[in-house]
């Protein structure tokens, strides 16, 4: 039996296989069965002492339960170190009680995952009012990786106009805008966003002269309802952008949204594969392999001792 292995869900199998290939470790698919009463049964592959659970947490509710059950089976099977690679980590946006009586989902999900795994690895976590991922997982290791170097590298294959302005829709996006603009050596600006509802947002630019007559590259962590991207694309065109493209880390929106995005003047959109999606095009395999190499190293030393 291998000392390190990956366990994944069917939807992430192709991504997990590529990662397993790079790290030289086996990949097992977790089987799920649904009973007539709605309960689920989870069956894991052979438990390795160090196991990497590869679970993108889009559509998260059942997946969270699956992680809980898989962890139970893996620990009982002899797994002593369980690493959750959740390229997209859900429930991070509900980081406060915005209305009386509302649950802070971020805290609850953090506690749940920390009770079953030893380390969480994710990408561009949405931590608007939380200082770091360590605050979500205070008692375990937590890595919040940046997709921006991989996004910047992808522009070697999609060269950008030298006049392009890197644009973010709100204050939270400043960190990603700054990182990407620096890496690709372009100017940048960030808008002000007012969220009025789940799908309704307003975006304003304090200084539209930064945008007028230039191509804009929109950068954000998440596209979910598409409301932010649509409002931002319209505002950019109103400010005189010559065209608008977007790169995002986590694509959560349905295919049907493409029409609306095109109507809003968005020319193209590309995403990383943190969530399997038809806009995927930016590959994070190197980032994941490098981050996980320490897990392989640790176990190799222990095995030799």
Active site residues: 193
Minimum CB distance to ligand PRP, residue 74 (Å): 33
Minimum CB distance to ligand PRP, residue 215 (Å): 21
Closest CA to 237 of 215, 268, 207, 269: 215
- Check if the beta carbon of residue 64 is closer than 8 Å to that of residue 57: yes
**Strand ranges in 76-205 using DSSP code E only, listed in sequence order:** 81-85, 119-123, 141-145, 165-168, 187-190, 192-195, 201-204
What's the half-sphere exposure (Cβ side, CA atoms, 13 Å) at 146?
A: 15
Minimum CB distance to ligand PRP, residue 288 (Å): 22
Nearer to ligand PRP, 4 or 151 (CB): 151
Minimum CB distance to ligand PRP, residue 167 (Å): 12
- Check if the beta carbon of residue 124 is closer than 8 Å to that of residue 144: yes
Nearer to ligand PRP, 13 or 234 (CB): 234
Minimum CB distance to ligand PRP, residue 300 (Å): 39
Nearer to ligand PRP, 55 or 230 (CB): 230
Burial letters 198-230, b for 16+ CB under 10 A, else e: eeebebebeebeebeebbbbbbbbbbbbbbbbb
CA distance 85 to 93: 19
**Site residues (vs ligand PRP, CB under 6 A):** 93, 126, 128, 169-170, 172, 195, 201, 220-229
Nearer to ligand PRP, 16 or 251 (CB): 251
Nearer to ligand PRP, 87 or 169 (CB): 169
Instruction: Compute CA distances 237 → 42, 151, 187, whole Å.
Output: 49, 23, 18
Minimum CB distance to ligand PRP, residue 90 (Å): 12
Closest CA to 245 of 185, 182, 161, 305: 161
What lies within 8 Å, CB to CB, of 79 at 6+ separation is 47, 48, 49, 50, 51
Burial of 77 per CB tally in 10 Å (0-12, 13-18, 19+): middle
- Check if the beta carbon of residue 243 is closer than 8 Å to that of residue 220: no
CA distance 59 to 300: 35
């Amino acid at each position: 039996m291998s000392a390190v292995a990956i366990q994944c869900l069917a939807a992430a199998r192709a991504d997990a296989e590529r990662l397993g290939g790079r790290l030289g470790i086996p990949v097992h698919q977790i089987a799920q069965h649904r009973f007539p009463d709605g309960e689920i049964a989870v069956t894991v592959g052979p438990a390795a002492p160090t196991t990497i659970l590869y679970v993108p947490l889009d559509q998260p509710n059942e997946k969270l339960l699956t992680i809980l059950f898989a962890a139970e089976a893996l620990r009982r099977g002899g797994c002593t170190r369980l690493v959750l690679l959740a390229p997209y980590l859900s429930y991070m946006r509900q980081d406060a009680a915005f209305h009386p009586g509302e649950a802070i989902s971020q805290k609850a999900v953090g506690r749940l995952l920390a009770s079953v795994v030893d380390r969480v690895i994710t990408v561009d976590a949405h931590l608007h009012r939380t200082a770091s991922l360590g605050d979500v997982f205070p008692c375990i290791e937590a890595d919040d990786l940046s997709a921006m170097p991989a996004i910047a590298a992808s522009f070697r294959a999609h060269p950008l106009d030298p006049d392009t302005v890197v644009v973010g829709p709100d204050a939270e996006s400043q960190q990603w805008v700054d990182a990407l603009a620096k890496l690709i050596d372009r100017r940048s600006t960030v808008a002000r966003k007012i969220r009025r509802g789940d799908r309704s947002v307003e975006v304003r630019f304090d200084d539209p002269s930064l945008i007028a007559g230039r191509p804009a590259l929109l950068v954000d962590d998440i596209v979910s309802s598409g409301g932010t991207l649509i409002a931002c694309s319209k505002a950019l065109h109103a400010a005189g952008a010559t065209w608008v493209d977007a790169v995002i880390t986590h694509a959560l929106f349905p295919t049907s949204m493409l029409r609306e995005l095109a109507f809003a003047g968005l020319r193209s959109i590309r995403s990383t594969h943190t969530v399997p999606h038809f806009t995927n095009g930016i590959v994070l395999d190197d980032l994941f392999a490098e981050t996980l190499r320490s897990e392989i190293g640790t176990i190799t030393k222990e095995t030799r001792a």
